[in-house]
């Protein structure tokens, strides 16, 4: 008798605990039931300001996604700051994104040197560093970063598709 009622009590307790945890959704920084907050730094000024179009394009894309209902009902907020293609400025702006704005991830930061400059900080802060867009030669340090996911350059991707990988 005790075993049957003990099993029933355990089952009810587990159901009660799972219902309580389902009602109490907890997300990390930058994510709520209604919003996903992402950040990036782009050279809107400085010697590589021609790449600022990437930041504007990404902002427009997320506006389009939000206009069609977001992702599973969550709106995407992209905070895009100017890094002036300067490593110290990129680090400063990235700290603002993480510490002041509380972004979920650094997404699509433009430039090899700005990405190398912020990589260690993002890893220490446990903030994902995804869709890295290097402008020139890719630094080997970006390839081995545990929290990094870089974009494939379009020219390399086209080569792989056509069978020409040189």
The 3-state DSSP composition of the chain as helix, strand, coil percent (nearest 5) reads 50, 20, 30
pLDDT digits (tens, 9 = 90+) for 73-83: 999 999 999 99
**Would you say the pTM of this structure is higher than 0.75?**
no
pLDDT digits (tens, 9 = 90+) for 9-67: 444 334 444 444 444 478 889 999 999 999 999 999 999 898 898 899 999 999 999 99
CA distance 11 to 29: 33
Q: 114 near 42, Cβ under 8 Å?
A: no
Backbone phi, psi, residue 108, to 5°: 75, 35
Ordered domains of the chain (ranges, CATH): 35-162 (3.40.50.2300)
């Amino acid at each position: 008798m005790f075993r049957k009622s003990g099993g029933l009590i355990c089952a009810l307790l587990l159901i009660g605990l799972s219902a309580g945890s389902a009602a109490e959704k907890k997300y990390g920084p930058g994510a709520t039931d209604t919003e996903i907050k992402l950040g990036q730094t782009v050279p809107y000024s400085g010697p590589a300001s021609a790449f600022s179009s990437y930041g504007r394009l990404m902002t427009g894309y997320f506006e389009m996604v939000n206009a069609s209902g977001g992702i599973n009902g969550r709106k995407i907020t992209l905070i895009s700051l100017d890094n002036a293609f300067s490593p110290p400025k990129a680090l400063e702006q990235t700290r603002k994104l993480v510490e002041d704005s509380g972004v979920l991830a650094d997404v699509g930061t433009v430039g090899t040197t700005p990405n190398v400059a912020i990589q260690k900080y993002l890893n220490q802060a446990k903030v994902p560093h995804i869709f890295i867009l290097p402008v020139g030669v890719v630094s080997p340090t970006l390839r081995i970063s545990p929290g990094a996911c870089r974009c494939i350059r379009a020219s390399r991707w086209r080569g792989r598709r056509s069978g020409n990988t040189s």
